[in-house]
A and B are shown apart, each in its own frame.
Chain A
């Protein structure tokens, strides 16, 4: 398939692997930020093809996984109120809240709809003037522009029965949180190509500089990932720490200006709790003062008690890259995609789900 098969070319893969083997002389830990990258690494069997000195650590870049249990509870609470329709991406429905998930709330009679775009939710609001439509807006900088656009559109069309429950998170503060953690072992980052398509490269320079850590903005196909790994290892071996761009076919230095303007119009940077990691200052987006009538938390005066995580789930250690899924005693036993204990097993981008669905052909103990 055009524009994909080129990046899955076995000969190119072979070439990059040879180069990686050639340049690697020391032990390195590389973290790929995005869950999409994790899945591609596992799905294509790349982890087993890399030199033994390179360990890939899977980062927190799965928006479903890092949405805290309290926000899931807020969504469930809203769904249970009569007259409210909760709209969400499908992945969010199975994520366990403190008592149940949205799918169970739906089975009990809550009106929960799976949508593929927030603009469909605005349309739903238009078609159902007697109902309140709440879009469960999760995601990194990648989905934020479309969610912002939905609010602007609703505002322009005079639609008042629409709001969003925002759970937006930002990549750079999470990278800083990981790097400043005393247990940090990450030598270099593969930054998320999609996020940088929107945000550009500039915000990564201070991080690379401050923590002396290479950052390579990387795509999602096998050739992208191997090229990104090669660029990161080359920097590490040479003692460099620059921001480099592997994903040149999409990422420009300044990012997407229109998308960024749309986000700035609607959102304000806020503190955010990350599931498994905890509170990270200035790491999320909330609907700003000007558009607060579209903020479901304000509109429905949400003030639920903060719920506790399931203690059996080690999602924090997984998302900080300190442990692999196979090192969790519940992986594949008490915790499976059909009954997840925590979010990394639920989302199609979650690390545990990736390991469960596309487990390595080797036995677990060989790849820990």
Chain B
């Protein structure tokens, strides 16, 4: 005889509202998904939160990820969520240690896709050397989300030699960019509905913490400022730094590293690559005398092969970023206004 009462499905191929109920289905989802894939000594305790000891000053950062589509060339929202927060911590001059991980899932997400995202999270966390120590899962009705949103928060220990602060920036300091600009934004656009175009462009999302740690080991406080130019692109970050430091910034368009295909796509779409979102690169403002040495070290790092000096801090035009164009003209580079493309990360 078939049982008449509704028995919760234990072997499910999509996530439903029940998985966010806090009851048996939630338990099953966590058991057969989150916990077995992300397994570590902190999660195994299955507490309401994580407890651990940290010795020394820390950096703390949080970010939410709503990228659409959730799967894009070169990655998915899972690794983006780990790399994003890891990189924010690294930019504070810290060595990332622990992350929290919270999902808001729209019902109907295929379990396979969720597992793929979890596996990417695990791999990205392993690569960065961070542990996911606590988290949360909520499910919302169809139409109230977009597949999956993720929040990660993280804690890192400040590197003993780090002194990252805009107040340390002086005229003459060099601005270094670690790699090709605009790659992530264009990779996402190439698969965005209504805008699809064929390309081989893949997102460069990656964790930058080990690269930064190595630079701090060698150059300490000669690294004055670090920032990853995600939303708003390189232009917006440079404006932020110029404003914070009350110095002028001069950059040379000729030196800006960009992939040929990405540049072509920008031309086609009418976008200025300086305003397109990035993921796997950072901007460093460094002491003038150390710039060459730092660049050689960075160019030997997997995340810095295309690293180059793009400009310097100057006394003139405080708070303004001036670009010397390819043909020798000069113009102001402003903040991004509005959105070039929403939900890029």
Residues in chain A within 8 A of chain B (CB atoms): 1, 4, 8-10, 13-14, 42-49, 94, 114-116, 120, 222, 336-338, 348, 356-361
Q: How far is the CB of A192 from chain B (nearest CB, A)?
A: 16
Known: A10-B327, A44-B329, A361-B331. A336 touches B337 (CB 8 A): yes
Known: A44-B327, A337-B338, A348-B270. A116 touches B194 (CB 8 A): yes
- Indicate if B334 sits at the interface (CB-CB under 8 A): yes
Q: How far is the CB of B143 from chain A (nearest CB, A)?
A: 14
- Indicate if B263 sits at the interface (CB-CB under 8 A): yes
Please tell me the number of chain B residues within 8 Å of chain A, measured between CB atoms.
23
Among residues 266 to 324 in chain B, which have CB atoms less than 8 Å away from a CB atom of chain A? 267, 270, 272, 317, 322, 324
Chain B residue contacts of A44, Cβ below 8 A: 325-327, 329, 331
Interchain CB contact under 8 A, B338 and A48? no
Interchain CB contact under 8 A, A115 and B329? no
Question: Can you report 13 residue pairs joining A to B where beta carbons are below 8 Å apart?
Answer: A10-B327, A10-B328, A13-B327, A13-B328, A44-B327, A44-B329, A44-B331, A47-B329, A114-B194, A222-B327, A337-B337, A338-B338, A358-B332
Chain A residue contacts of B195, Cβ below 8 A: 116
- Indicate if B11 sits at the interface (CB-CB under 8 A): no
Interchain CB contact under 8 A, B263 and A1? yes
Interchain CB contact under 8 A, B331 and A359? yes
- Indicate if B218 sits at the interface (CB-CB under 8 A): no
- Indicate if B41 sits at the interface (CB-CB under 8 A): no
Prevailing SS type, chain A contact patch? loop
- Indicate if B264 sits at the interface (CB-CB under 8 A): yes
Residues in chain B within 8 A of chain A (CB atoms): 194-195, 260, 263-264, 267, 270, 272, 317, 322, 324-334, 337-338
Q: How far is the CB of B321 from chain A (nearest CB, A)?
A: 10
A361 touches which one: B270, B326, B327, B332 (CB < 8 A)? B332
Interchain CB contact under 8 A, A4 and B267? yes
Known: A337-B338, A348-B270. A1 touches B325 (CB 8 A): no
Chain A residue contacts of B327, Cβ below 8 A: 8-10, 13, 44-46, 49, 222
Q: How far is the CB of B181 from chain A (nearest CB, A)?
A: 15
Interchain CB contact under 8 A, B326 and A10? yes
Chain A residue contacts of B331, Cβ below 8 A: 42-45, 358-361
Known: A1-B267, A4-B267. A359 touches B334 (CB 8 A): yes
CA distance A338 to B338 in the complex (A): 6
Q: How far is the CB of A336 from chain B (nearest CB, A)?
A: 7
CA distance A120 to B196 in the complex (A): 12
* Shortest Cβ distance from B332 into A: residue: A359
Chain A residue contacts of B333, Cβ below 8 A: 358
Interchain CB contact under 8 A, A360 and B338? no
Which 9 residue pairs of A and B lie closest in terms of their CB atoms, listed nearest first? Answer: A45-B329, A361-B330, A337-B337, A359-B332, A13-B327, A44-B325, A45-B331, A45-B325, A358-B331
Q: How far is the CB of A117 from chain B (nearest CB, A)?
A: 8
